Amino acid sequence: MRAVTLAQVPGSPEVTEAEVPRPEAGEVLVKVAASSVNGFDLGTVAGYLQSMMEHRFPLIPGKDFAGTVEAVGEGVEGFAVGDAVFGVVTKAHLGTGSMAQYVAVPAAIGITRRPAGVSVRDAGALGLAGTAAFDGLALFGPLEGKTVLISGATGGVGALAVQLAAARGARVIATAKPGSETDFVAALSDAEVTVVDYTQDVSAQVRAAAPDGVDAVLHLAGDLGELTALTRDGGAVASALAVPEAPEDRKLHTVMIRSNPTADTLTALAGQVASGALKVPVNAEFALERAPEAFAAFGGGTLGKIAITVA
């Protein structure tokens, strides 16, 4: 099969021939139609995850997938050959990812059926970013009437989080540069989103919009300490990049986001996409054979998600 592979890390992704994986007990073999590039994948290529997870070479990156079930392993129930599915590769090691024509994934978590109203491309870009946004916001509890600051709103996770937070009744403040970035964020939701320019004084802009401080911060980019200081006492800070710290007297709830792509979460996200309530912000698309270009585009900065289609 054709696959994106890394001979080592740090390394450069190449498209080569690889063996088709066999589904082990409890696994499903998926014929991949679409995937996407995430920050996790860039971290893998850069070698940042070497001390965190086992690496198996030649290493196939990729967490997101959408396609059809090709085969099921021993003991698998609930999935059959031909089912349209999508999800997130949840294996404990890196090396057998989804940027390939086939991927074997656990059936117990990280996979669910793709509704007819969700395109293969969108499903292949939804899983990891959608779960991170969904689970990150869930850490704040009910959002109705709360002011939520989303730092890093132009990325895949941030763009989905803006929509999810606004749909749950939050007042959203989001970071973006003037121009195409601000236009992109403003178009994500029918609700009004206050956009602050992260190239200028973020603190001054946020305090002008929320003089008493924000109720919650979703940290996906920017200075975590500065953003934490903008949170009112008793508020919450969730970061995808580091463990937030705050003085005890601030009484802040601080936590690092740990996305958990359960079937329930994936199904809920797909349902919102199918209904039109949630847009998967795919702004660029590359064929598998051009995946190295997709990595370069992601590293150079892009709005929303970069999809990879697999012939």
Region 253-258 average pLDDT: 92
> Tens digits of per-residue pLDDT, 283-294?
999 999 999 999
How does DSSP assign 181-216, residue by residue?
HHHHHHTS-SS-EEEE-TTS-HHHHHHHH-TT-EEE
Around 269, how many Cα atoms within 13 Å sit in the side-chain half-sphere?
36
Q: What is the pLDDT of residue 300?
A: 85
Q: Please give the model's pTM, rounded to 2 decimal places.
A: 0.96
> Tens digits of per-residue pLDDT, 95-136?
999 999 999 999 999 999 999 999 999 999 999 999 999 999
> Tens digits of per-residue pLDDT, 128-180?
999 999 999 999 999 999 999 999 999 999 999 999 999 999 999 999 999 99
Query: 305 in helix, strand or coil?
Result: strand
